[in-house]
Each structure stands twice: as structure tokens, then as C-alpha cells.
Amino acid sequence: MFLDTQKPLDIAENRYGIEPQKIIPINSGKVNLSFRVVTASGDFCLQRLNDYFQNSEALGHNWELAQKVITGHHLPFPEIVPAVDGNLLVADDGSWRLTKWLDGHLPPAGDRDTAYLAGHTLGLIHRVLNVPRPIPALFKLPQDFAFTNQKLASSKDFDNIYLLYRRHPNLVQINPLIKRAALAAFNLPRRPAFQRVFLARDLVIHGDPKRENFLVESHKMALLDWDTIGYGDPLIDLGELCRSFAVIKPNSEFQTSLAACAVRGYEESGFDFDSQISLLLPAVIRALCLNLTLRYLIDALAEVYFSWDPEKFDSLFAQNESRAATLLSTVEEMETSEMEFINLLTRA
């Protein structure tokens, strides 16, 4: 959206009252536009939030609320910085947020120690946010919000794609993926304990603890991007963490040993799920993959997404079709190896 750094510079100087020495675009994020603001007194991260979020009071409120309890337990956190007028978000050609810069690096893919550390960190955060009682977070995400993991995709949802896009020229090409995804959704458990995972709203969770949202520094981990904080079942968070740490590119094979390391780390610091982890978690991970598959299939036909890699894909359709196919392959692989995964979790 911003081809240069003039707008971020203006926001930093006039709305936040800081004096940047340099503004550096950060290209790693897929949702928000992010910039590193270098100053003489320290660095900051300035983000222009995606339009889905808009200028919601809850975004700043929930971020600051989580910040207070997490930093109070001496855990690293991207601390939010108020604007000159005292507001936590700035409305100016979109919504802007400024946080203090955290040094660190993305957890390496395929590393068991960092998978364990991420699980341990998530467990600590769940405890801090909910004990002795859940923090009073505000609800703010639209019901059809594209990022939430808490809507369980059904076979009917995939069948409805035909109704929504029946005249789309690419529907025939993507039809085999839709049929496979509908069958995979039909094969999800129907027992109440599984359904409850996607309905519960009794504890505060992060909402998107994928590998790209963790930062490693000196044997500590920080969890970033708190826009999706809300009420839900902690198994949703643990399932997403396992999915993102255990699915290894380029083949996107699900590494059960990595997921088991993340679970072991969580069990040492987080909530006690008893038998739920071994019995429900594998199916929860499959369901989370299907949620994303549904989103990418619809995005493929609508030809939308937050970022497009034209060097790898000639269209947004091709990019989203590829992502949907990769996730669906992971789901189908997990269906055949679920008992192996359950046995591994039981031993862990």
C-alpha cells in the first residue's frame, strides 16, 4: 500500500512524538504492514493494521491487558506504546499501532528444542492469562472473521462453495480439492468433547500461536501479534502451535515427533488436559488444517489474499489453490497416522 516510508515517518513523528533516524519496511508479515522505526533511544515496530481489524477499541485494550499480566510475570512481550493523545491506536488512513522492538529470530523449522520451548511458553501464557481468573478481554472480531480458528469447518461449508461460485471459470479446476476437503470434514469426530473444543468460550487464548508469531532470544520466547486474543478452548491454541511447528515444508509432511515435543513442553507449564490431549488433539489439528483449507479455497475463487508471491505463482488463484492442496494433503496424511500420533502422545 505504501511504496515509500513517508506515511510511517509522518505517523511516528506527529502522532507518536518520536524522532526516527530510519524507517525500515518489514516484509515478513502477511496481514499487517510493518516497519522498524530506528531511534536514538531504541527501536520500535510500527504497524498499519489490516482493514479487517479497523480502529477497534478492543485491539488496544486487549493488547495492553495481556501485556500487564505477562510482563508482570517477567515474560517477554511486545509492549504497546500510547500515541501523543493517549490512545493506543492511531486512525489515519487506516489504524496504526506502535510497540517496542523485541530482538530475536524466528524459531527454526524442524527443531525439537524450539518446539518444546514454544509449547512451554504457550502453557505459561495460558496460566498467566487465566489464573486465578481469566482477564477481562473484550470481544471484537466479526462473526465471519477470516483469521479465527474457532469455527469448525463442516462438509456442508465445502459443498456451499458450489453454490457461491457455480459460474466461476476456475471451479472445475478446483472441484477435486473441494470434494476431498468435504470428505475429510465429514470424517472429523462427532462426539461432544470434540465439538466443545470449537464452541467453548470460558478461557482466554491467543488465537493464532503459529511458529511465525514466536520470537526466540537467549533461550526465551516471546509470542507476538495479539490481535486475535479472545475466549476459547486452550486446545485450539495448542493444536495451532503443533500444526505450525510440525508441518515441514516443502512437502508439508506432519512430523509427529515435533508435535509431541510441543505437547510435552505445554504439559510442564500449562493446563492439565488429562486424556484430552491424546484423544482430541490429533483431530483438533486436522480440523484447524481444514479451517485454513476452506479459507484458501474460497480465497482462490475470490482471488484475494493479504499478500501474493508473484515469483512463485502466476495468480492469486494459483497461490491459494496450492496452499489449500498442501493443507489437505496434511489432513489426509494425519487421518492414516492418527493412532501412531495418539500412541506417541500417550508415551510423551
Of 65, 100, 135, the domain-final residue: 100
Given a contact cutoff of 8 angstroms between Cβ atoms, the answer to whether 115 and 248 are in contact is: no
Q: Are residues 90 and 147 in the same domain?
A: no
Q: What would the pLDDT profile of 274-292 be if each residue is shown by its tens digit?
A: 777 888 999 999 999 999 9
Q: Are residues 66 and 131 in the same domain?
A: no
- The answer to whether residue 96 is domain-embedded is yes
pLDDT at position 219 over 90: no
Residue 140 confidence (pLDDT):
61
Range of the domain at 127: 112-347
Q: Are residues 294 and 326 in the same domain?
A: yes
Summary mean pLDDT of the chain:
90
- The answer to whether residue 215 is domain-embedded is yes
pLDDT at position 62 over 70: yes
Q: Whole-model pTM?
A: 0.93
Q: Are residues 182 and 244 in the same domain?
A: yes
Q: Are residues 157 and 18 in the same domain?
A: no
Q: What would the pLDDT profile of 141-166 be if each residue is shown by its tens digit?
A: 554 445 567 789 999 999 999 999 99
Q: Which residue has the cell 506502535?
A: 98
d(CA 131, CA 300): 42
pLDDT at position 240 over 90: yes
Q: Are residues 168 and 310 in the same domain?
A: yes
Q: Are residues 178 and 62 in the same domain?
A: no
CATH of the domain at 56: 3.30.200.20
Of 100, 121, 153, the domain-final residue: 100
Residue 143 confidence (pLDDT):
46
- Displacement of CA 228 from its chain's centroid (Å): 8
d(CA 49, CA 32): 5
Q: Are residues 157 and 189 in the same domain?
A: yes
Residue 38 confidence (pLDDT):
97
Residue 2 confidence (pLDDT):
46
Q: Are residues 91 and 127 in the same domain?
A: no
Given a contact cutoff of 8 angstroms between Cβ atoms, the answer to whether 241 and 277 are in contact is: no
Q: Are residues 57 and 176 in the same domain?
A: no
Residue 172 confidence (pLDDT):
95
In the chain, the number of structural domains is 2
Of 100, 129, 160, the domain-final residue: 100
